[in-house]
Amino acid sequence: MSFGESAWRMALLCMCLPPTLNRERLVKISLTSAFTCFGSKTDQNSQWTAKLKEVKSELFRLLPFNKAVELFDMYSFHVAARMGQNSSSRLGAGYRGILEVEEALLQTEELAKEEEITSEEVIKIIINRMAKAKFVGYEKYEKFNDDCEFRSIIKFIQKASILTKLKRTGWVRYGVSNPETVAGHMFRMGVMSLIFSDSPYKGDNLRDGSSVTVSLVHDIAECIVGDITPVDGISDDDKHAREMKAIKELTEPLRGDLGCDIYTNFERYEFQKDPEARLTKEIDKLDMIIQAHEYETIKGEKFLQEFFDSTVGKGKFTLDVTKDHVKALMTARNAQ
């Protein structure tokens, strides 16, 4: 699993923490955890000082000053949690718990692959980590040994984790080598939303930064219905109906407001009734053509023209922040 795919799953886990925690901030911190891939590939506690310098250098090279400061602050929080330095704060303890649950998921997935552990043993290990992190449902678990809410979250996360292996259909159809997964795509969109959500363009009318959470769940129904594309011969109405049925199947078992929150963010993307949802839609298209340009650059051939033809100049980009990036991308592509 890539850094980005793991960060995406951690962000989903953060959504499953109690609302009394600042879940929005923890979701964003989770996304920045993938910045560990910047520079050298080391991931050892003894070398975190060097890693912080590498990440800081890259962020300040690539981003406007204020945004680089914001993201580096979040990544520093992640590193402190990895090193056990901020566990005394409630937010730090909550995030440390997320790291431990994700670690348990990664370890048990490998053991299950080798048939060295049963599915029930996997669940019990994860439940213990969730109780320690005080996920939604921990009070019932502590008082009555009732783990039903934990189990519903685990089932949801395991189902969603299919997307860390599901390759995006469009790239597969064109024979792209090692194409991105659906989870990787949602991770990239989450980071782009984090960067764009406080757009300096007044006309974009972006308010609350919630495009991050919309981005992280907008394709989650594909763990049930698959990645349906226009060439599959399925109408937009049928695709919408299948995906709405799938998101209900995914979220209905989740207790309390948790299922409703995830369902609502998915629904916002589908119905496009607020500025943040519309930003997410445009980021979806922008990420697609950025990814297409990356694959073309790797191959040294412009073989993905279809993806540009379906978006650029078709009225898909209406926000100034996305239009500027599309213009820069097309300038770079045309120069090759």
Please write the tens of the pLDDT for every residue from 247-259: 999 999 998 789 9
Which residue in 218, 197, 205 sits closest to 264, CA to CA? 218
Query: How far is Cα 15 from Cα 11, in angstroms, rounded to an integer?
Result: 7
- In the chain, the domains with their CATH numbers are 3-163 (1.10.3210), 169-334 (1.10.3210.10)
Query: If you search the block for the tokens 């602050």, which residue do you land on?
Result: 73
State whether the Cα torsion 74-77-83-87 is positive or negative: negative
What confidence tens digit (pLDDT) does each residue in 140-171 have? 999 999 999 999 999 999 999 999 999 999 99
Say if residue 44's pLDDT is above 60: no
Neighbours of 116 (CB within 10 A): 10
Query: If you search the block for the tokens 């100034």, which residue do you land on?
Result: 320
At 91, the amino acid letter reads L
Q: In this structure, what token pair is assigned to residue 36?
A: 């560990």
Is the Cβ–Cβ distance between 185 and 168 less than 8 Å? Answer: yes
Is the Cβ–Cβ distance between 1 and 164 less than 8 Å? Answer: yes
Least confident of 123-132, 203-212, 302-311: 203-212
Highest mean pLDDT among 71-80, 81-90, 221-230, 249-258: 71-80
SS3 181: strand
pTM above 0.85, yes or no: yes
Is the Cβ–Cβ distance between 245 and 290 less than 8 Å? Answer: no
Say if residue 45's pLDDT is above 60: no
Angle of helix 182-196 versus helix 65-82 axis, rounded to 10? 130
Burial label, 201 (beta-carbon count in 10 A; 0-12, 13-18, 19+): middle
Whole-number percent of the chain with pLDDT over 70: 95
What confidence tens digit (pLDDT) does each residue in 185-202 have? 999 999 999 998 776 654
